[in-house]
Amino acid sequence: MHCDRKSPHLLHLASQSPRRRAMVDWLGVPAVTTQVDIDEAPLPGEAPRALAIRLAREKTLAATAAVEGLVLTADTVVDLDGAALGKPADADEARRMLRDLRALPHQVHTGVALALPGGEILVRCVTTDVLMRPYSDAEIDAYIATGDPMDKAGAYAIQHPGFHPVDHVDVCYANVVGLPLCAVVSLLAEAGWTIAVDVHATTRALCRKHFGYACPRIDVGAEECAP
């Protein structure tokens, strides 16, 4: 995948998440990271999926005020029966979230936004159904002691090698990690990047290589969210 632009810094990733940065690197996209700070609290009555889309857009707007060029942002929200679970404020909140999620299904929504130099913002949103395993209170406490839950929506990382909180995901594993790769590639293609490989095969191969996950579909992330 490449772009005809000559700048070595072709894409600004407005995220300090090392996971998202690594996943962009897997795609071979030249990128630099920039930090944005916005209020991530949901609006009154705002649905979790709408929250993920809005925050992705707002992060993009905040980043484009400081940098020029293509800007990519993402926001992930855990949706438990219509309630949005963001990052826990402390260990007690992380413990409550993990107990609430235990052995139950929920959804993970990731809004992904790409700002073009002319001001247009392209958006995708991917939703994954997730079933958690029946982990114990002792496992929760041990996981919290690692510090890993504190910067994660819903207080968990699906890919954590010790905790392994998830029993099953429906379709997009990368989405639960925080960046649906197919959605990113779809946005970049719409923005005019030249893609010289079979994108879906490539992103599926990346998920298999890095997560050990065999994606059952090739069109993850193709849904376009309304403005």
Burial 122-152, CB ≥16 within 10 A → b, else e: bbbbbbbebebeebeeebbeebbeeebbeeb
Task: Return the H-helix or E-strand segment holding 125.
Answer: strand 121-132
Residues in the chain: 227
Residue showing tokens 């994660």: 152
Residues marked as catalytic: 75
Query: How many other C-beta atoms lie within 10 A of the C-beta of residue 223?
Result: 13
| 118, HSE (Cβ side, Cα atoms, 13 Å) | 3
Q: Which two tokens stand for residue 118?
A: 């002319």
